[in-house]
Amino acid sequence: MSSKKRKPIKFEEGSGNIFADLGLEDSGELYTRAQIGIHVFRILRDRKLKQRQIADILDIAQPDVSHLMNGHFSRFTTDKLLDFLRRLDQKVKIEVSRHHKGEPYQLVTFVP
């Protein structure tokens, strides 16, 4: 064992939105797309569909399926991702409420 004292590890607590933490423009939109995209991805993964089947269901080209399944959600608009949920027979509910200090402005939640 070394008798040297260990230096404390420096860290910074994240905001909950990695895109904002990285200082990216439109971080709220990017976060929302990522959250919706993850949900679309999970549904497709759980259904064990082949890329050709996904392309047919979502009415997109096969290369776009590849982008979707590889997590490149920023390639799709929020509207397009919401359309994917509709095509996957999912109900989307949008709720508007007053913002409280410390909470994100955009929040995506999923009900199983």
Identify the pLDDT of residue 26: 87
| Per-residue pLDDT tens over the stretch 6-53 | 888 887 777 778 887 888 888 888 988 999 999 999 999 999 999 999
At 37, which CATH number? 1.10.260.40
Identify the pLDDT of residue 40: 96
| Residue-number span of the structural domain to which 44 is assigned | 19-87
Residue 103: inside a domain: no
Residue 109: inside a domain: no
Look at the chain and report how many structural domains it folds into.
Answer: 1
Percentage of the chain modeled with pLDDT above 70: 97
Residue 112: inside a domain: no
Q: Do the beta carbons of residue 23 and residue 30 sit within 8 Å?
A: no
Residue 31: inside a domain: yes
What is the C-alpha to C-alpha distance for residues 16 and 104, in angstroms, rounded to an integer? 8
18 residue type, one letter: I
Report, as an integer, the average pLDDT of 81-109.
Answer: 86
Identify the pLDDT of residue 2: 55
What is the C-alpha to C-alpha distance for residues 36 and 29, in angstroms, rounded to an integer? 11
Identify the pLDDT of residue 14: 76
The mean pLDDT value of the chain amounts to 88
Residue 76: inside a domain: yes
Task: Considering only residues 13 and 84, tell me which one the structure prediction assigns the higher pLDDT.
Answer: 84
Residue 7: inside a domain: no
